A and B are shown apart, each in its own frame.
Chain A
């Protein structure tokens, strides 16, 4: 296990203190784990604390999944986490990124019926 593996796991479990600790130990906020993903790509989407921490430390917001083209904003929108959507945008996530199915984040939110996320993304 590398520090980046641990960082990705801490982000994925919403363990803010763990993320903080691993960054302090020198884990690369844009490094990938053994599955080729950055911590922001795999973070627990409902954890606004982890999202903000990673982004504040320079995590690149627009890294797309190598298999599906999905960005973190797509995931946050598809899962309906408006608060995380807002944080990602605050740190310059691309609101009109398209995944490999040619969908934008707003399309995924609409498909799942998350009216608040749709309204917000459409208001940009």
Chain B
């Protein structure tokens, strides 16, 4: 890790404040380009940084070596010792000056063309598949964390840090959006990589709808909104280890997803349902989703390809 002496980044604005610290837009004064800086304060003792932090950073650096087109570049990691007990670790990421939220909002009426949605989904799942096969889950996937370059290239941001953060800070309560959370997280059951697929399903729907699919105001309300679409899961499917009882919810039957997401073809609807599956173990994986009929590459001559074209 680089030490403090030459830190060629100048903060220009705050762009995020999570439970653990602040995210900045900054400029690399040598290249003139923007970067995103994320800092985390970690407790240190005479042995230096905690082993868990070193491991997490090493994992991020290992991921970086793959140079995956659909995740943001990690350009630098700096550790600056603050006091005997505290070190500030700063991760320097490539900055992408557009997120999916903005990208969707600026698409002219009636929204993104179906082929553009398909391409975005393919890239998104490709990035996720890459993270998941390296045993990294994102956990906080939402349109603001999915970046889209001016050339239409998707890059995931804000992944893999959850564990660094949650290990070392007294988490301060923050308001986080519930809208992309899967049932198992809302129910506080155990969870793993399928959480990201649920979020992706919600975002997939939002690409067509141009507004979020489930806008709950509390965890119970969020679950209620989910069941209005996918139906109340059976008693057998309800996780055993949770405090919220199934009886709390009215007995709803699933409704056709196309009632909520019009203008989607049959294969798209089928994939969406596979992503919005209550049981995380039955939910489709990123790699299987890429093989789904809806996303299979058609054999088109290169000239007709528009995989990175702007709408």
Contacting residues, chain B, for A67 (C-beta < 8 A): 10, 27, 29
Residues B150 and A47 in contact, CB atoms below 8 Å apart? no
* Interface 1/0 per residue, A70-101 and B, CB below 8 Å: 10001100111111000000000000000101
Give which listed residue, B25, B29, B99, B106, contacts A49 with CB less than 8 A: B106
**Which B residues touch A48, using CB under 8 A?**
106
Judge whether A46 is part of the interface by a CB distance below 8 angstroms: yes
Within 8 A of A (CB), among B86-125: 97-99, 101-103, 105-106
A68 and B14 within 8 A (CB):
no
Q: Determine the distance from Cα of A48 to Cα of B103 in the docked complex, in whole angstroms.
A: 10
Q: Does A62 contact B (CB under 8 A)?
A: no
Q: Considering the chains assembled together, what is the distance between the CA atoms of A67 and B25 in angstroms?
A: 15
Interface: B167 (CB within 8 A): no
Q: Is B34 an interface residue (CB 8 A)?
A: yes
Residue contact A46 to B11, C-beta cutoff 8 Å:
no
With both beta carbons as reference points, the residue of chain B lying nearest to A65 in the complex is identified as B27
Residues of B within 8 A of A30 (CB): none
Docked-complex contact A46 and B13, CB < 8 angstroms: no
CB distance B14 to A81 under 8 Å?
no
Assembled-state Cα–Cα distance A13/B16 (Å): 8
Q: Which residue on A lies nearest to B147, using beta carbons? A: A46
> How many B residues, CB 8 Å from partner?
26
Q: A35-B11, A67-B29 are in contact. Are A80 and B102 (CB under 8 A)?
A: no
Q: Do B27 and A70 touch across chains, with their CB atoms under 8 A apart?
A: yes
How distant is the Cα of A14 from the Cα of B113 in the complex, in angstroms? 23
Q: Interface centre among B12, B16, B99, B103, by most A CB within 10 Å? A: B12
Question: Taking the complex as formed, is B149 at the interface, i.e. its CB lies under 8 A from any CB of chain A?
Answer: yes
Interface status of A41 (Cβ within 8 A of chain B): yes
Instruction: Choose from A49, A74, A81 the contact partner of B97 (Cβ within 8 Å).
Output: A81
- Chain A residue at smallest Cβ distance from B34: A75
Indicate if the CB atoms of B102 and A44 lie closer than 8 Å. yes
A12–B150 CB distance below 8 A: no
Does B211 interact with chain A (Cβ within 8 Å)? Answer: no
Q: Is the CB of B12 within 8 A of A14?
A: no
Contacting B at CB under 8 A, from A11-58, are 11-14, 16, 33, 35, 37, 41-42, 44-49
Tell me, rounded to whole Å, the shortest Cβ–Cβ distance linking A110 to chain B: 14
How far is B14's CA from A5's CA once the two chains are assembled, in angstroms? 8
Which chain A positions have C-beta within 8 A of B33?
Answer: 78
Chain A residues within an 8 Å CB radius of B16 = 13
* Neighbouring B residues of A33 by C-beta, 8 Å: 13
Contact yes or no, A101 B106, CB < 8 A:
no
Contact B14 A80 (CB under 8 A): no
A41-B12 contact, Cβ under 8 Å, with A46-B98, A65-B27, A75-B97:
yes
Instruction: Give bound CA distance, A8 to B103, whole Å.
Output: 20
The reply to whether B148 and A46 contact each other, CB–CB distance below 8 Å, is: yes
Q: Which B residues from 1 to 34 make CB contacts under 8 A with A?
A: 10-16, 25, 27, 29, 32-34
- Cβ–Cβ < 8 Å partners of A49 in chain B: 102, 105-106
Q: Compute how far the CA of A70 lies from the CA of B102 in the bound complex, rounded to whole angstroms.
A: 24
Contact A37 B102 (CB under 8 A): no
B151 within 8 A of A: yes
> In whole Å, how far is A61's beta carbon from the nearest beta carbon of chain B?
17
Could you give 24 example pairs across A and B, Cβ below 8 Å? A9-B15, A11-B13, A12-B14, A12-B25, A13-B15, A13-B144, A14-B98, A16-B105, A35-B10, A35-B12, A37-B13, A42-B12, A45-B98, A46-B148, A65-B12, A67-B29, A70-B27, A70-B32, A75-B34, A80-B151, A81-B150, A82-B150, A83-B106, A108-B32
Contacts A8-B12, A35-B12 given; 19 further ones with Cβ under 8 A? A9-B13, A12-B12, A12-B15, A14-B101, A35-B11, A41-B12, A42-B12, A44-B97, A46-B106, A46-B150, A49-B106, A68-B32, A75-B34, A75-B97, A78-B32, A79-B149, A79-B150, A81-B150, A82-B150
- B residues apposed to A, CB below 8 Å: 10-16, 25, 27, 29, 32-34, 97-99, 101-103, 105-106, 144, 148-151
